[in-house]
Amino acid sequence: MSPFVQLLAAIALAPGALGATLIASHFAGGIYTLSLAGSNSSGTLSITSQASGCGVTPGWIELYSDTRKLYCFDESWMGSGSTAEYSVANDGRLSVTGQLKTSGNSVHGQLYGGADGRSFVATVEYSPSTFTTYKMPFSGSKVLQLQKFTLAQRGPNPRQDVAHPHEAHVDPTGKFIIVPDLGADVLRVFKIDSSSGQLTACSEGKADAGDGPRHIKFWKSADGLQKAYVVNELGNSVSAWDVAYPSDESGCLNLKKTQTQSTYAPGKKGGSTTKAAEVRVVGNFVYATNRADQTFGSQQDSIATYTIDPATGAIAWLEAANSYSYYPRTFQFNKEGTLVAVGGQTSSNVAIIARDPATGKLGKLVANLQVGQKGRAGEEDGLSAVVWVE
């Protein structure tokens, strides 16, 4: 090995050295591959490639690292959409390997069922109030099951005029799908028939009126206690839920809300345009993003941080951290838990922020890059999602 190659290898293995790939989607249609280089205290982001194929309004991306497959869901509200499957090369470059024609307005989707847990795909459509499933692969696939959600009566928030499913989240066992419904103030629970992909409705989890549940994440303690945490977009809060699994295969998953905490520090609250966006769980910490609060100055919104009591699963306020972005719609932590990538929707930037795994606190801005054209506050444009390729 030459001295130059030895030097490069030493740099790559040096403590704190960065070398990572991320993928970000933009509401204007582009899917971007990003490269992160530098150290844990100072880095640079750059765009290395760009792809298309996910319709006109890519709204959510889901990466399966073991197969290096990325799935992008089109949020187009024009009456049709195009969900896309990509193969992720070693350098992060994307190649379209399948496309699925949909009715559009898909705000989220995940794969589920089958021997590999990837035999079907579930999507939720926000404005049509529908939950749709398809059989894999994408090519030639038609609707397997479609459910239309309705309301018995309007909710207290003006946005709760109809049912608004916002996520199709597969639980950790792969046996159930949970659909937080922002319009209906419920968590809809569906049991999966793994072989056929058919879904059967279970009893719903009841949120408080006006919560507007948006996304959910599960947590399990070292002693086996299981909880779920839900970010409530309309209520600007995070709720803790008890999780009870059935004793036999014929039963259903049960969810019961036990606690709700504001996404703002005690004594503070959001404004008329603030909207909680996304929730993540890392170890014994919960994080949720706030949009349009500008807690840290002009176009500098916050990330709420909570501790999880390992014995009870209860959450407690820890701090508000700078998201270094405006309208942080999306964020994801790296596997080591040392960095978080935040996607600012309106600022259309990806911000890489340091994290202390011991305290759970977020720190300094490590790297930052505008990706695509900036959006307009409150509109469906700008950056839509970001994921680490690990």
Distance between CA atoms of residues 24 and 139, nearest Å: 24
| Rounded-to-integer distance, Cα 297 and Cα 195, Å | 52
Q: Tens digit of pLDDT per residue, the chain (390 long)?
A: 444 334 333 333 344 568 999 999 999 999 999 999 997 789 999 999 999 999 999 999 999 999 999 999 999 988 889 999 999 999 999 999 999 999 999 999 999 999 999 999 999 999 999 999 999 999 889 999 999 999 999 999 999 999 999 999 999 999 999 999 999 999 999 999 999 999 999 999 999 999 999 999 999 999 999 999 999 999 999 999 999 999 998 899 999 999 999 999 999 999 999 999 999 999 999 999 999 999 999 999 999 999 999 999 999 999 999 999 999 999 999 999 999 999 999 999 999 999 999 999 999 999 999 999 999 998 989 999 999 999
CB-CB contact of 370 with 383 (8 Å): no
The pair of structure tokens assigned to 306 is 């909570």
> Could you count the other beta carbons within 10 Å of the beta carbon of residue 327?
27
Give the model's pLDDT for residue 143.
Answer: 96
Amino acid at 226: Q
pTM for this entry:
0.95
pLDDT at 4: 37
Nearest CA among 134, 110, 125, 106 for reference residue 198: 134
Q: What are the residues facing 303 on neighbouring strands?
A: 289, 321
**Strand boundaries in 245-361, DSSP class E:** 254-262, 275-282, 285-291, 302-308, 315-322, 328-333, 339-344, 349-355
Q: What is the pLDDT of residue 79?
A: 85
pLDDT at 10: 37
Tokens matching residue 85 = 């499957």
Token reading at 99: 């496309």
Give the 3-state secondary structure of residue 11.
helix
- pLDDT at site 6: 41
CA–CA separation, 126 vs 114, rounded Å?
Answer: 26
CB 298 within 8 A of CB 309: no
SS3 for 288? Answer: strand
pLDDT of residue 234: 98
Euclidean distance between CA atoms 132 and 141, whole angstroms: 12
Closest CA relative to residue 162, chosen from 175, 178, 171, 150: 150
Single-letter code of the amino acid located at 211: D
